[in-house]
Structure formats: C-alpha cells, structure tokens
C-alpha cells in the first residue's frame, strides 16, 4: 500500500509466552516441555506464565498453582526471574526505538506503536512492523505476535488472532474491519466479560456482526446509552484513542516494616486498609486503574510471601483492592503462628482510566463509590492528606448502621 492509504497505522506487539520463552531461551532443555513459571504448588503460589504445551491442559496465567498442578501434574516448574525478563524487555524496547518514539508499553511483553510518522522514513507500515518482528527474533531469540490496523482496538484484536508468531494486518478500510470482526464472539470486545457476555447472549447477540447491525435505540433501552454506544462503536471497528508514549509505571504500591511484629489478624487488615486507600488515591491522581493486586508478607524469620490476584474489571477504588488483599492474606498465607514483620500492597496490570474495560452494565454502588472517592480526594487536596481516613469512615458506619467492619466504605463494591 502507498503511504496515503494509512492515515493512521497502529501496531500491537505481544511477546509469545514471554516468561516461559525466556526460560526456554536460557535453558534449551525445557523446549517442548509443559513449563509453568510461577510459585510452587506447595506454597500457594500463582501461575505467571505457562508454555503452550502446558496451556493445552487448561493452565493459564493467574491460576492458583495448586489447580495448575492438578491439571498438568507432569509440568516442569520454574520460579519467575523478573530481572531477567526486564533485561529482555529492554532489548525489545531498543528495537522499537529504531523505528518510532511513539511507544506505549502495557507491560514487559506488550506495547502499542504508532508507526504513522515512520512511514516516510521506512516505507509502508506492513514493512516496518515485519522488520521489527524479524529483528526481535534475530536479536533476542524471542517470537512476537503482531497486529497492525488503523486503531488500537483492532491492532490488539489482530495480534491475538494467530498466536503464536502471528502477523495479522487489518487494512485501513472500515468495511474490511467490519468483515474481520463480524464472525468473532462478542466476548472479544473490550468490556465484555463472562457476565456481560451472558447478558448479551440473552438479548440474542452472539457475534460482533450481530451487534453491529443492532438498532441503536432498541439497544439503548435495554443496556443504557453509554453501554450501547460503546458496544456499537467497537462492533464497527471504531476507536479514537491515541498511542500515549512514555513509560507507564508497572505498579503502584505501599509497604511498611513494623517496629514490632504483628500477630493479630485485625491489626494486619487495618494496615492493608490504609495501604489500599493510599494506593487507590495515587491511581486516581495519575488517571490510572489496575487489573490486579499483589500482597507481600514477610515474617519475623524473614521468610517472604507474595500472592497476587486479578480483577475482571479495572479499578481505582480502595474497596476492591482491600477486599482482594484481605482475601489473599486470609486464604493464601500461612503465617505458621509467626509474627508479621512487613506488609505490602501493590496495584499491578495498570492501564489508563480511559482504556479500562469497564463493565458495560455498571453497578450503581460502584458508581457512587467512585464519586465518593473523588470527593474525598478533593477534601484531602484542600485540607491535607489526613483530612479523611477510610478507617474512620468504616468505624462511623459501624456505630450508625451496624455495618460489618469487613465491608468497604463510601459505597465501594467488593
């Protein structure tokens, strides 16, 4: 295609089985084996990445290690080596930077590139994307799946279409984009999780193409205007978001080492509540949301546990962060009667607020919770960080309404 055929060219690069691929690169004897990178099953860990051989048995990232071990009992396990993965990620970033400075990293193994400005220098975007893909393979030994399209949504869909080692181009033709999307299940659209998919199926929508021809007024009456507009735009392949260059933080967190070890569960959970409140406020201040939370626990004997879980919908509210961390502490950490020396809570899998795949059928409590959180942010900005304490709100609700202490305040939904 000529350069004029691409008014905007967005590529999404997604490394294949990244952590597992790096392990295989460094230890070739692992090639072809069902490999799981993550916490060992006996330590209540979670799966970070599974090789494609392990995925055939149903193993996937964020799965509890115990469940993964039951599905694939003969798997080979490796602990994650984050510094090594970060090193390989920097090598990949260096390849990107040869062709564009418009790079939006989503994680160590995933990024959007805006190639529009690179076309006069390097040729058609298909050539540029293919060249980047080939150079990543030759220089790092890793394979990457690439999606190229005229917006971010389509590029992301395309990169996942023929994994692993895929290269899919959706040309800058709205009709071609609609034809590409039409046979896909509605679950492939951003914002459509399991519950939303069931709701759409109940309304008679199973494919993207069926949504694309839905009557807008009819759809608005049944799912609301915002949800209907969101669905219809995506089903037609429309997405106006720009690639936001610059380094996005990988996580936002807070931890504390205590002067005296904590033994009481209630005291630990009070700390986690304060951490969740602080982390959520920092997410909102940076216009970010997260799809996951990590709990860090260090005992008095310096043994350390990290446990993580993911959300179906991105959040910037303290309630979901606290509830998830508290559940991890209760169910996934055995202190063996020893005191806790350090606690930490961090939000990970970050995204810009306007990129979050929010529920298409928003919960009114969650909506009220976000408004309340923003009001608290304003009060703190005006009167100082100690003007409002989430713990104090919980205590007040208990006295006035008898609300259980383990429920989040401010209308935040667990």
Please say which residue of 122, 148, 171 terminates a domain: 171
In this structure, the answer to whether residues 351 and 392 fall within a common structural domain is yes
Residue 159 in tokens: 């990169």
Are 68 and 11 in a shared domain? yes
Q: Tell me, what's the pLDDT at 245?
A: 82
Q: Is residue 412 part of a domain?
A: no
pTM > 0.95: yes or no: no
The reply to whether 101 and 2 lie within a common domain is yes
Residue 400: its pLDDT value, please? 46
- Any bridge partners for residue 310, and if so which? 292
32/375: higher pLDDT: 32
> 159 with 26, same domain?
yes
Q: Could you give the residue numbers annotated as active site?
A: 110
Give per-residue pLDDT as tens, 195-252. Answer: 788 889 999 999 999 999 999 999 988 888 888 888 999 999 999 888 988 666 778 9
Q: Is 301 exposed, middle or buried (0-12, 13-18, 19+ CB in 10 A)?
A: exposed
Q: What mean pLDDT comes out for the span 357-373?
A: 60
- Total domains in the chain come to 3
SS3 category, 148: strand
DSSP state of 345: E
Distance CA 165, CA 146 (A): 8
Quick one: 190 and 159 in the same domain? no
Asked if 305 and 351 count as a contact pair (C-beta separation under 8 A), the reply is: no
CATH number of 133's domain: 3.30.70.270
Q: Which domain holds residue 129?
A: 1-171
Secondary structure of residue 114 in the 3-state scheme: strand
- Point out the least confidently predicted range of 69-83, 90-104, 359-373: 359-373
* 13 vs 29: CA distance, rounded Å: 27
Is residue 231 situated within a structural domain? yes
CA distance 308 to 349: 11
Q: Cβ(300)–Cβ(269) under 8 Å?
A: no
Between helix 265-285 and helix 390-401 the angle, nearest 10°, is: 120
Q: Kindly state the tokens that stand for 122.
A: 């390097």
Q: Are 237 and 154 in contact (CB under 8 A)?
A: yes
Task: Classify residue 314: in a domain, yes or no.
Answer: yes
The Cβ of residue 92 has, within 10 Å, a number of other Cβ atoms equal to 23
Q: What's the pLDDT at 153? A: 94
C-alpha closest to that of 9 among 143, 131, 100: 100
Look up residue 247 and give its DSSP letter. P
pLDDT at 414: 29
The secondary element (H helix, E strand) that includes residue 352 is strand 340-352
**Taking the mean position of all CA atoms in its chain, how far away is CA 320?**
15
CA distance 299 to 321: 22
d(CA 131, CA 128): 5
* Same domain as 210, residue 137: no
327 shares a domain with 218: no
Is the link from the previous residue into 164 a cis peptide, with omega within 30 of 0? Answer: yes
Same-domain pairing of 200 and 107: no
Q: How confident is the model at residue 374 (pLDDT cuts 50, 70, 90)?
A: low
CA gyration radius for the chain?
Answer: 23
Indicate if the pLDDT at residue 334 is higher than 50. yes
How confident is the model over 130-159, as a mean pLDDT? Answer: 96
The lowest-confidence range among 19-33, 183-197, 260-274 is 183-197
Do 49 and 90 fall within a single domain? yes
**What CATH number is attached to the domain comprising 189?**
1.10.150.20
CA–CA distance, 31 with 268 (Å, rounded to integer): 43
- Across the chain, what does the average pLDDT equal? 85
Q: Is the residue at 272 inside a domain? A: yes
Tokens of 1: 């295609």
Whether 90 is in a domain gets the answer yes
Helix runs in 104-248, H state only: 119-122, 125-140, 152-159, 174-181, 194-202, 208-212, 216-223, 225-235
Say what angle helices 265-285 and 318-332 make with each other, to 10 degrees: 140
Give the pLDDT of residue 2.
43
Whether residues 221 and 268 share a domain: the answer is no
Whether residue 240 lies inside any domain: the answer is no
Domain end position, chosen among 171, 195, 210: 171
Residue written as token pair 């190229």: 148
- Is residue 35 domain-resident? yes
Q: Say whether both 260 and 302 belong to one domain.
A: yes
Looking at residue 3, its pLDDT comes to 44
| Cα–Cα dist 144/167, whole Å | 9
- Whether residues 9 and 127 share a domain: the answer is yes
d(CA 236, CA 181): 8
Q: Which of 123, 142, 171 is the last residue of a domain?
A: 171
Classify residue 309: in a domain, yes or no.
yes
């Amino acid at each position: 295609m000529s350069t004029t055929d691409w008014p905007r060219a967005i590529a999404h690069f997604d490394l294949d089985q990244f952590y597992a691929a790096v392990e295989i690169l460094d230890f070739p004897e692992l090639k072809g084996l069902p490999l799981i990178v993550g916490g060992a099953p006996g330590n209540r860990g979670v799966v970070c990445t599974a090789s494609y051989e392990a995925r055939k048995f149903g193993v996937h990232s964020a799965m509890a290690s115990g469940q993964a071990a039951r599905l694939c009992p003969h798997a080979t396990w490796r602990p994650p080596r984050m510094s090594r993965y970060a090193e390989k990620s920097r090598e990949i970033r260096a390849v990107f930077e040869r062709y564009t400075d418009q790079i939006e990293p989503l994680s160590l193994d995933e990024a959007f590139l805006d190639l529009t400005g690179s076309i006069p220098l390097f040729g058609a975007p298909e050539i540029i994307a293919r060249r980047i893909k080939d150079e990543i393979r030759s220089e790092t030994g890793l394979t990457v799946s690439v999606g190229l399209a005229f917006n971010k949504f389509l590029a992301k869909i395309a990169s996942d279409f023929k994994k692993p080692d895929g290269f899919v181009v959706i040309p800058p033709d709205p009709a071609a984009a609609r034809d590409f999307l039409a046979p896909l299940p509605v679950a492939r659209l951003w914002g459509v999780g399991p519950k939303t998919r069931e709701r759409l199926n109940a309304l008679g929508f199973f494919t993207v193409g069926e949504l694309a021809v839905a009557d807008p007024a009819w759809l608005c009456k049944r799912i609301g205007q915002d949800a209907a507009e969101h669905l219809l735009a995506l089903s037609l392949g429309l997405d106006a978001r720009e690639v936001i260059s610059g380094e996005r933080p990988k996580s936002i967190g807070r931890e504390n080492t205590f002067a005296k070890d904590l033994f009481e569960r209630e005291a630990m959970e009070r700390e986690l509540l304060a951490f969740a409140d602080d982390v959520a406020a920092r997410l909102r201040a940076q216009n970010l949301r997260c799809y996951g939370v990590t709990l860090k626990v260090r005992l008095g004997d310096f043994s350390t546990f990290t446990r993580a879980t993911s959300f179906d919908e991105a959040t910037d509210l303290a309630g979901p962060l606290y509830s998830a961390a508290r559940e991890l502490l209760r169910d996934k950490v055995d202190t063996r009667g020893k005191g806790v020396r350090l606690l930490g809570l961090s939000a990970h899998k970050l995204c810009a607020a306007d990129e979050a795949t929010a529920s298409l059928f928003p919960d009114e409590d969650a909506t009220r919770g976000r408004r309340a959180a923003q009001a608290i942010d304003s009060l703190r900005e005006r009167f100082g960080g100690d003007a409002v304490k989430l713990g104090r709100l919980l205590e007040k609700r208990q006295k006035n309404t008898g609300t259980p202490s383990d429920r989040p305040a401010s209308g935040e939904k667990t």
